[in-house]
Structure 1
Amino acid sequence: MSSTFRPAPTSERMPFIDALKAVGSQLIVLHHLAFYGPMSDWTHQLAPDVVGWFSQHARMAVQIFLVVAGFLAARSLAPDGRLRTDRPLASLWQRFVRVSLPLLAALLLAMVCTEIARTWMTHDSLPAPPSLWQFVAHALLIHSLLGVDSLSAGVWYVAIDVQLYALLLGLLWLGRQLGTTAPLLVVAVVLASLFHFNRDSDWDNWAIYFFGAYGLGALAYWVSRAGAGRSAPAWLAGMVLLTGVALALDWRTRIALALGVALALAWAHRSGWLFTWPRSRALGYLGRISYGVFLLNFPVALVVNAWFTRHASPDAGVQTLGVLVAWLACNLAGAAFHHGVEQRLGRPGRAPAR
C-alpha cells in the first residue's frame, strides 16, 4: 500500500460505512417483519424459504453494527492506539447521552404504538403494559442485566453498545496508565471473548460476549491506518489466523461474518474506498437514518400488523402486501424520527471530550 495514505478527518462522511449500516438496518427490519406479528404467517405460505431465512438468519446483521461500532470507536477515542482524551468519563457520558435520549423518545413512541396495536389485535408479539420500574430500567440501560422484559425488540443492542464503548474506553485508559500498548490489551480481551465468553450464551447480556466482534472492528481500524505500514498484512493475517482457530474450536457463523466485515473495513480504509465508495445517495441516506429505523421498526410494524389483521382480508396476498407496507412505513418513520428527534436529542452527546 502507498505510504502517502492519510486518514481523513473524523468529521468526513464514510460512504462505505453508510452502505454497511443501510444494508444492516434493512436486514434487521426484515428479520423483525419475518419473526414477529401475524402477517408473516401468511407470507410464509407464499414464500416459506424466504421468510424462514429472514426469520432465522437476517438477525446476524447485528454483527455489522458491532464491527462498525468498534471501528468508529477506535477512530474517535484513539486513532493512533493511544487514548487521546484526558476525560474518559466525559466521553462515556457523551456516548450514553447520544444513544439513550433518542432511545427514550423511541420507547415512548413504542408504548403508544403498542397500545394502538392492542386495540386491533391480540398476539403474543405485543409487549405487556409497562411498569414505571420497567421504563426506568430501560432508561438506565440495565433492563437486560436485571432480567426486565424488553419494551421493544432490539433495545438490548443499545445497552450492549454503551457497555462495549465503556469496555474499550477502560482498556485504552488502562493501557495509558500501565504505559503499554493499548491495542495489545484489546487483542487479549478479543481472544478471551472469542475463545470463551462468546461460546457461552449465559454471558449474552454483557459486553464481553460481543467484544470479539467489536474488538475486531477496533483492530481493523488500527491495522489499516497509514502508520501500520508494512506490518499491516502481518497483523491482518494474525487476525484471520486467531479468529480461524477460534472458529475451528467452535464454529459460529456470526463470528465469521464479523471477521469478514472487519477485513472489508480494513481494506476499504487502506485503499481509500472508505471515503469514496459507493457513490449512492440512497444507501448514504439509509445509512444516516439507520439508528432511527432500528429504534422504531418494531413498534411501527406492530401497528401495521394490527391494522391488517383487523381490517384487511385474511388472504396470503393481501397480508404479504401488508408486510411491504410495514417495511416502507418503518423506513419513513425512521427518517422522520432521525430528522425530528434523533438529531436534536443526540446533539448534546456530540461535543468532543477534552
Structure 2
Amino acid sequence: MSAQTVHAHAPERLPFIDALKAVGSQLIVLHHLAFYGPMSDWTHQLAPDVVGWFSQHARMAVQIFLVVAGFLAARSLAPDGQLRTARPLALLWQRFVRVSLPLMAALLLAMVCTEIARHWMAHDSIPAPPTLWQFVAHALLLHSLLGVDSLSAGVWYVAIDVQLYALLLGLLWLGRRLGLVAPLLVATLMLASLFHFNRDSGWDNWALYFFGAYGLGALAYWLSRADADRGATAWLAGMALLTVLALAMDWRTRIALALGVALALAWSHRSGWLFTWPRSRSLGYLGRISYGVFLLNFPVALVVNAWFTRYAPAEAGVQTFGVVVAWLACNLAGAAFHHGVEQRLGRLGRARAPAQALVAGTGSQRSRK
C-alpha cells in the first residue's frame, strides 16, 4: 500500500517492492469485492471456486505488506543495524502525520460514499451512520484498541503499521541506549511473536501479534546487505529454521507466506534485483498508488454495489460486470487520491525531516487468519 520508500529529499524506486505492493493491493481489492456487497453473491453463481478463494484466502496478502514494511523500516531507520536518528520521537510524529492525514481525508470520502450507498440499497456491508467519536478515534489510530466500530474495511492496518513502526523504533533506541545489538532485540521479539503472541487472537489489536512478520522483513534486510559478514547467510538460514519450528508447533499459512516474502526480499536484495526488476511501468505505477487504492477501495466498491443493486438487472452476468466496474473504479479512485491528496499531504513536515530518514508506509485489508 503505501509501502513506498521516500528519501527526505530524493525519491528512490525499488521495482521489486513496487511489484509486490501492486500484486498485494490488487488481491486485497478483489478480496473486498468477493467478501462484501451483494454483487459477489451473483458472481458466486458463475464462479463459486474463484469467488470463494478470493473471499477466504486473498486477504493473506496483508502479510506481503507487513514484511515489506519491516524491510523498509530497517532500511530507513538503521541500515547498519544501529539507529541513525538523534530524534526518534520527531521521526515517529512525522510518520504519524504522513499516515493519518491521508487516512482522515479518505475517511471523509468514505463517509460520503457510505451515505450514497445507503440511499440506494440496504445491506449488512454498509457501516452504521458515523459519530464524531468514531472519527476522532480513527484519526488518533486508536479505534481498534478502544473497540470502536470501523468506518471502512482495512483501516485497522494503518493503526497497526504505526504501532509496528513505533515498536521497531523503540527497540532500536533501546539497543543504542544500552549498548546492545539492536537486531538481536528485534529477533527476540520476533520469535516471541511467532511462538506466542501470534498464536493468540486476543492480541490482534496490538503490534506484538504482527511483529513476527514485520520482524522477518527487518531481519531480511539486515542479513542481506551487500556488506553483511560471511555469517549472514547462516543467520538467515537460522531465521528460516526457527520460523519453520514455530509453524511446526502451530501451522499458520499466513506466517509461511510471510517467511516466503522475507526470503524473496533477502534474495532480491543480495542479488541486486531489488533495484532493477521487474521493469514494468504498470506494476510500478500500481505499486505507487497502492495506499490510495487501499484507503478508498471499500467505499468505492460499496457505491458501485449499491448502484448495480438499485438500477441494474438482477442477473448473474450483469452483476458480475458490476464487479469488474467496481475493480476498475477502485483503481481509478486510488490513483486520483494518490495524486490529488496523498502526495500533497505527504509533503507536510518532510522538509524538516532528518536527512537520513526514509519514510515507509503501508496498508492493506484485514487478514488475521
Q: TM-score, normalization: structure 2?
A: 0.93
Matched residues in 1 for 2:166 and 2:290: separation? 22
* Equivalent residue number for residue 103 of structure 2: 103
Q: Which amino acid aligns with 1:266?
A: A
Q: Which amino acid aligns with 1:299?
A: P
Q: Give the secondary structure class of the aligned counterpart of 1:21.
A: helix
CA RMSD after TM alignment: 1.0
Runs of 4+ residues deviating >4 angstroms: none
Q: As a proportion of its length, which structure holds more helix? A: 1
Matched residues in 2 for 1:65 and 1:301: separation? 22
Q: Give the secondary structure class of the aligned counterpart of 1:110.
A: helix
Cα deviation code 1:86-142 (max 9, x no counterpart):
000011001101110000000000000000000100000000011110100000000
Cα shift at 1:319? 0.1
Matched residues in 1 for 2:349 and 2:306: separation? 36
**In the alignment, is the contact (CA less than 8 A) between 1:95 and 1:349 conserved in 2?**
no
Identity %: 88
**In the alignment, is the contact (CA less than 8 A) between 1:289 and 1:335 conserved in 2?**
yes
Relative distance call for 1:272 and 1:60 in structure 2 (3 A) is: same
Q: How does 1:1-354 map to 2 (within 5 A)?
A: 11-351=11-351, 352-353=353-354
Cα shift at 1:349? 4.7
Q: Give the secondary structure class of the aligned counterpart of 1:86.
A: coil
Cα shift at 1:226? 1.7
Q: Which amino acid aligns with 1:311?
A: Y
Query: Which deviates more, 285-294 or 224-233?
Result: 224-233
Matched residues in 2 for 1:27 and 1:96: separation? 26
Matched residues in 1 for 2:280 and 2:22: separation? 11
Q: Which amino acid aligns with 2:326?
A: A
Cα deviation code 1:148-207 (max 9, x no counterpart):
000000000000000000000000000001101100000000000000000000000000
Higher relative contact order (CA 8 A, sep 6+): 2
Matched residues in 2 for 1:341 and 1:301: separation? 20
Q: Which amino acid aligns with 1:93?
A: W
Cα shift at 1:347? 1.2
**Structure 2 unaligned blocks of 5 or more:** 1-6, 356-369
Cα shift at 1:227? 2.2
* Equivalent residue number for residue 4 of structure 1: none
* Number of residues of Structure 1 aligned to a counterpart in Structure 2: 346
Cα shift at 1:229? 3.2
Matched residues in 1 for 2:348 and 2:212: separation? 30
Q: Give the secondary structure class of the aligned counterpart of 1:165.
A: helix
Matched residues in 2 for 1:48 and 1:349: separation? 48
Cα deviation code 1:274-329 (max 9, x no counterpart):
00000000000000000000000000000000000000000000000000000000
Cα deviation code 1:207-241 (max 9, x no counterpart):
00000000100000000112213222101101111
Q: TM-score, normalization: structure 1?
A: 0.96
Q: Which amino acid aligns with 1:353?
A: P
